[in-house]
Amino acid sequence: MKPAVDSPPPLTVRTVPVPDPGDLPARLPHPDALAWIHHGEGIVAWGQAARTTIPGGPDRFTRARAWLDDLFTTAHIDDPLGLPGTGPVAFGSFTFDPAAPGSVLIVPRHILGRRDGHAWLTTIGEPTGDPLTLAHPPTPPTGLRWSDGTLTAPAWQHAVATAVQRIRHGRLGKTVLARDLTVQAAQPIDPRVLLDRLTTRYPACFTFAVDGLIGATPELLIRRTGDHIDSLVLAGTLPRGATPADDHARAQRLLNSPKDRREHAYAADMVRDALTPLCADLHVPHQPEILTLPNVIHLASPVHGTLDKERSVLDVLAALHPTPAVCGTPTGPALDLIRELEAMDRGRYAGPVGWIDATGDGEWGIALRCAELDPADPTRARLFAGCGIVADSDPAAELAEAQAKFRPMREALQG
């Protein structure tokens, strides 16, 4: 069965080179923004030429791919640049829980991109005047009121303590527990303000916006460029220190912490196991390195490989999600424990988020450090943060880590 879709007529797609557009979020003409930006480069987009929602189920990535193949293979494409992200593109965001509905793919009407000295504008369907002149300055959110989400901080610490007990006495090595916060603003929250603040403050992260899910994730799940793939596995975290010397000491502590190294190894090993059958060669470092962000320090393993045959970025993504960075090890029992102890619907938090073009190239992150606007009331949003839990995790330290992971989005909202 195919996903529930409108069946659009064949797409007409035209990509043209444009002068350097400068700051990408500043070019978005209205709040209904799509974005993927890293170190100031990437794509922003608006309008909808086609859209599908994908039900939960083990075949959801295959369904997504089938829908895109139909759309892109029948499209009339004029793309003199032929770069990753030129021609037609779909933005996507999948729910964390494979059984949950709510995953979405959107093919925008207008895509503005900048990469490696090239800039382009892609228009899908009939041109609608000059979309680059439509920008209106967005208004920052005001009157913010914060509340606990599903669990209070003490209740969440209790859930962490329960997870630790289950891990010590069961066959589970690791799980990942998240909590949510809610925020209420006086007016609808404009994603462009959040994108602007996140790209400025977290340039090394992948800043994204897809259908009201906005964030800046440091974790690259998979990038495909031709037959080359990259991934950045993260797990093991400390909040930033107060001084450079303190940061240095914390980085050493992280590298030498058996608890954090174990937490990281679960994630890196799973990514290696999932990618090995898809690759002609694969490099996963033996030791993690340190990634320092403005709010936290992570253990990080950059992974690179060459695919053994033609595979879309979605095929690779299907083999990876959910990794132990957001779920645990083994996957099934870890997922069951998350469903039981978090007592909330993660929605698209911790799911894959990114873009794919007609050649199968694309970049997908794990949707972390993010907020989801309430589709029924855009003055409201839910923020999420989670932590890997292993046998020797300390609930108070995990709470402090989660607070540090909320910071990018809290501050993007607060100014």
Contacting residues toward ligand ISC, per CB under 6 A: 176, 178, 219, 234-237, 298, 325-326, 368-369, 385-388, 405
Peptide bond into 322 cis (omega under 30): yes
Strands 41-46 and 12-17: unpaired
Kindly tell me which of 313 and 370 has the beta carbon lying closer to ligand ISC.
370
**How many angstroms separate the CA atoms of 402 and 237, rounded?**
10
Closest distance between ligand ISC and the C-beta of residue 299, in Å? 7
Kindly tell me which of 90 and 385 has the beta carbon lying closer to ligand ISC.
385
Q: How many CB atoms lie within 10 A of CB 161?
A: 16
**How many angstroms separate the CA atoms of 389 and 268, rounded?**
16
CA-wise closest residue to 363 among 267, 220, 233: 220
Closest distance between ligand ISC and the C-beta of residue 285, in Å? 16
Kindly tell me which of 65 and 407 has the beta carbon lying closer to ligand ISC.
407
Q: Identify whether 174 is a catalytic site residue.
A: yes
**How many angstroms separate the CA atoms of 350 and 65, rounded?**
20
Closest distance between ligand ISC and the C-beta of residue 218, in Å? 7
Q: Identify whether 219 is a catalytic site residue.
A: yes
Token duo for residue 307: 């695919």
Q: Are 185 and 379 in contact (CB under 8 A)?
A: yes
Closest distance between ligand ISC and the C-beta of residue 387, in Å? 4
Q: Are 301 and 289 in contact (CB under 8 A)?
A: yes
Q: Which of 219, 263, 372, 398 is catalytic?
A: 219
Q: Name 289's bridge partners.
A: 300
Closest distance between ligand ISC and the C-beta of residue 255, in Å? 13
Closest distance between ligand ISC and the C-beta of residue 385, in Å? 4
**How many angstroms separate the CA atoms of 203 and 195, rounded?**
11
From residue 377, alpha-carbon distances to 154, 182, 185, 188 in Å are 28, 12, 10, 8
Q: Are 89 and 357 in contact (CB under 8 A)?
A: yes
Q: Are 367 and 353 in contact (CB under 8 A)?
A: yes
What is the helix (H) or strand (E) element at residue 397, kind and residue range? helix 395-414
Q: Are 33 and 15 in contact (CB under 8 A)?
A: no
Kindly tell me which of 342 and 361 has the beta carbon lying closer to ligand ISC.
342
Kindly tell me which of 90 and 367 has the beta carbon lying closer to ligand ISC.
367
Closest distance between ligand ISC and the C-beta of residue 34, in Å? 22
Strands 12-17 and 76-78: parallel
Kindly tell me which of 71 and 235 has the beta carbon lying closer to ligand ISC.
235
DSSP state of 347: T
Beta strands in 284-376 (DSSP E): 289-292, 296-307, 328-329, 352-357, 362-366, 370-374
Kindly tell me which of 15 and 329 has the beta carbon lying closer to ligand ISC.
329
Phi/psi at 393 (5° precision): -75, 145
Q: Which of 2, 41, 126, 174 is catalytic?
A: 174
Instruction: Give the catalytic positions in this structure.
Output: 174, 219
